Amino acid sequence: MSSFFFFNYQGINYNPVQQNSKLEQLATATRDIPTEGEGSFHRTTFGAKADNVEVGMKAGRRGPYLLSDPIMRDKVSHFDHERIPERVVHARGDAAHGFFKLHTSLEDVTHAKVLTDLETEVPMFVRFSSVLGSAGAAETAREVRGFASRFYTEEGNWDIVGNNIPVFFIQDGIKFPDLIHAGKPDPKAGLPQAQTAHDNFWDFISLSEESTHMASWALSDVTIPRSYRMIQGFGVNTFVLVNGEGKRTFVKFHWKPHLGKHSLCWDEALKLGGQDPDYLRRDLQMFIDAGIFPKWELGVQLVAEEDEDKFSFDLLDCTKIIPEEEVPIKWVGTMTLNRTVTDQFAENEQVAFCTQNIVPGIDYSDDPMLHTRNFSYFDTQISRLGGINFSQIPINQPIPQACPFLNTLRDGYSSKVIPNGPNYYPNRFGNNPGPASVAQGGLHHPPYKVGGLRQRELGEKFYEYYDQATLHYNSLSDAEKANLVYTATFELGRCDDRGVQERMMDRFKHIDYDFAKNVAANFGIDVGEPVRQNHGRKTDGENPISMLSKHNIFKAEGRLIAMVAPDGFDYQQAIAIQKAFLALGNIVAVIGTRKGPTYGKNGEQLDTQFTFESARSTLFDSLVFLDGNDQYQKTLQLGRAKHWCIEAYAHFKALAVIGSSAEWASKLIPITNKIDDGKSFSVQDGVVVAPNLTNQDTSLFEKLTHGAYDAATFAGAYAGAVAGHRYWHRDNSGLVY
């Protein structure tokens, strides 16, 4: 099933990508292979044209191979050294180009142009990833997701290297090797891959109180996202903004997806791991290449330096959030991703994000995890990318407005520039290249008071571990809390050490006593008496914790819809649905019994993208079963077609069943085919049942508009159902799927 989703769909409006300074710069390093002329010949790495690239030199037709063959040596030797070390963490991921446009200036708190210039579109490169899995790991494994964004600004590269969760497992970077070693496959068995469901990981967590808050997030549905286009992003650490007068302001960075944050369900994620291990990468590329560009809002939480100590937690503790009730998010700009990479290795694999990459007007706080990351992210690139000159790789170069980057640094492996000038400072050549003042655009590190004894310690407030873990739990919906119990049971159920399970129950008791009891019941563990009272507080804001929050975004856009159309389908319905949902910004794939043409009940033709066997319902956000003649209905009696319907319902997805398909579906899933007199459809837990759909109902699809769904019409009702994403309150316990 590896070829899923790369299909040509005639209805898609491909939007041309506007060039920007970074894309133009990358174009100079891109080699397009012509189909004729001198450039069409295979040349060796030393520039000679190869006379044969398929058969090597031998001593006689059947004699021994000759190592004197320069073409064989050139090809095979280069192949032998193609691979570089994969990232220790975040090895599995995908990336895309785009741009950022500021709409609200922050000039009162920073002089960084990227956060004050309302006119310039800043080129961007963004990489989404999973943390623990290797480069070939299944993407739907339960994992924290990386969200690394680079702004190619006129003042240099600025990187926000974050995750889709606003907190982290540990407070001090010295523990990072232990955390990752615990999460990675056991060194003896090499198991498991890309999973935390094993003894070593939960052993570490159970013995690290500071990890409790992050563990509650890791067990939640955010670790199985529906799409990279539907994840939040967080800078995790606290940074500092600096204005022209040198005043410092603490800042937390947020990304909010325009499509809202949405997840898969666990059964679906498990199945997708085998059906399409590249599911998230394919989804990102498919929608961007279709011209349906994902967008995010950049937000900031700002805290004046003099207010640093007013909170119950420490701003420098990356295992804590700043609740929006205490500091609202200010939304300042929009990021749009509008181009996939040209070459995965040259761009996705070689990009070197570093938290230390800042521009004038942005500075670091004293967050101990951030300072370790500043060292580690830079340090790891040196070995991974073959030396200290990784910043000269095209994807890592600042844009021409900030290049050529002139300094006195020299040499090293694979230097790609030929410097001509002094290699020391000060010098007799006008002291060039030399430092820039703040007024000249230099980095700005205003003085602030520090002091204390040299010691291995953390701030006093760092040692409160459970308040925000409970806050996170309380802020989830009932459905998400139920999923949390299920996930914790699965994760710890893959552990064999009873001590690990018992210690985690104690951690869960500190989050919420009933939560701990519900999990412990699945292990026969007595959790004893409560150790602390649930404080009852919740938090909800514009970048919400709960996916069912009123602040989350629900719209029928950016979805992949399967239209089931084997021979004998109603062509008028098919075309109306296809056009309407494409216009809303979705992709509608046609499912038939063969790859190629499928025929309507009057002989009309549509091209299919998938068959019942080459895909499964797991790959789609919603399914439409059309009306059709006897031939159509005969096909729906196939076991695979029935399974598509039952499985999609059990995965809480929106469905539409029309005409004769409504009666068929009512025998498979808990819906009724009976509707009120005078109506042509009803909506039942996200299933739009339309046994009597009229031509007039079908024609109303043309009136669908973005964000305005008239629930009184079938078209509007189905669009509203798709917007709802999942209907978590369904009872699927009696279904076999």
List 163, 164, 338, 518, catalytic entry: 163
- The answer to whether the bond into 16 is cis (omega within 30° of 0) is no
Q: In what order do the strands lie in the sheet with 622-625?
A: 610-611, 587-592, 560-564, 622-625, 654-658, 687-690, 682-684
Structure tokens at 468: 């925000």
**Which amino acid, residue 298?**
L
In our burial notation (b when 16+ CB lie closer than 10 A, e otherwise), range 251-289 reads bbbbbbbbbbbbbbbbebbbbbbebbbbbbbbbbbbbbe
Among 330, 307, 332, 311, which residue's Cα sits nearest to residue 321?
311
Cα separation, 4 vs 616, whole angstroms: 10
Whether 163 sits among the annotated catalytic residues: the reply is: yes
Cα separation, 398 vs 506, whole angstroms: 49
Cα separation, 63 vs 70, whole angstroms: 18
DSSP state of 607: E
Among 385, 441, 381, which residue's Cα sits nearest to residue 83?
385
Is the CB of residue 231 less than 8 Å from the CB of residue 164? yes
Is the CB of residue 621 less than 8 Å from the CB of residue 590? no
Cα separation, 584 vs 558, whole angstroms: 8
Cα separation, 61 vs 224, whole angstroms: 57
Among 58, 75, 54, which residue's Cα sits nearest to residue 66?
58
| Contacts (Cβ under 8 Å, ≥6 apart) of 623 | 561, 562, 563, 564, 617, 644, 645, 648, 653, 655, 656
Whether 551 sits among the annotated catalytic residues: the reply is: no
| Contacts (Cβ under 8 Å, ≥6 apart) of 343 | none
Whether 377 has a binding-site annotation, put simply, is yes
433: helix, coil or strand? coil
DSSP state of 185: P
Burial of 295 (0-12, 13-18, 19+ CB in 10 A): middle
Distances from the Cα of 480 to the Cα of 178, 220, 728, angstroms? 30, 7, 9
List 90, 254, 258, 651, catalytic entry: 90
In our burial notation (b when 16+ CB lie closer than 10 A, e otherwise), range 471-505 reads bbbbbbeebbbebbbbbbbebbeebeeeebbbbbb
Distances from the Cα of 720 to the Cα of 104, 625, 688, 714, angstroms? 32, 17, 10, 10
**Phi, psi of 694, rounded to the nearest 5 degrees:** -100, 165
Burial of 214 (0-12, 13-18, 19+ CB in 10 A): buried
3-state helix, strand, coil split of the chain in percent (to 5) is: 30, 15, 50
**Phi, psi of 371, rounded to the nearest 5 degrees:** -65, -35
Among 84, 81, 83, which residue's Cα sits nearest to residue 383?
84
Structure tokens at 181: 């070693």
Give the annotated binding-site residues: 377
Q: Which residues are catalytic?
A: 90, 163
Give the annotated binding-site residues for heme: 377
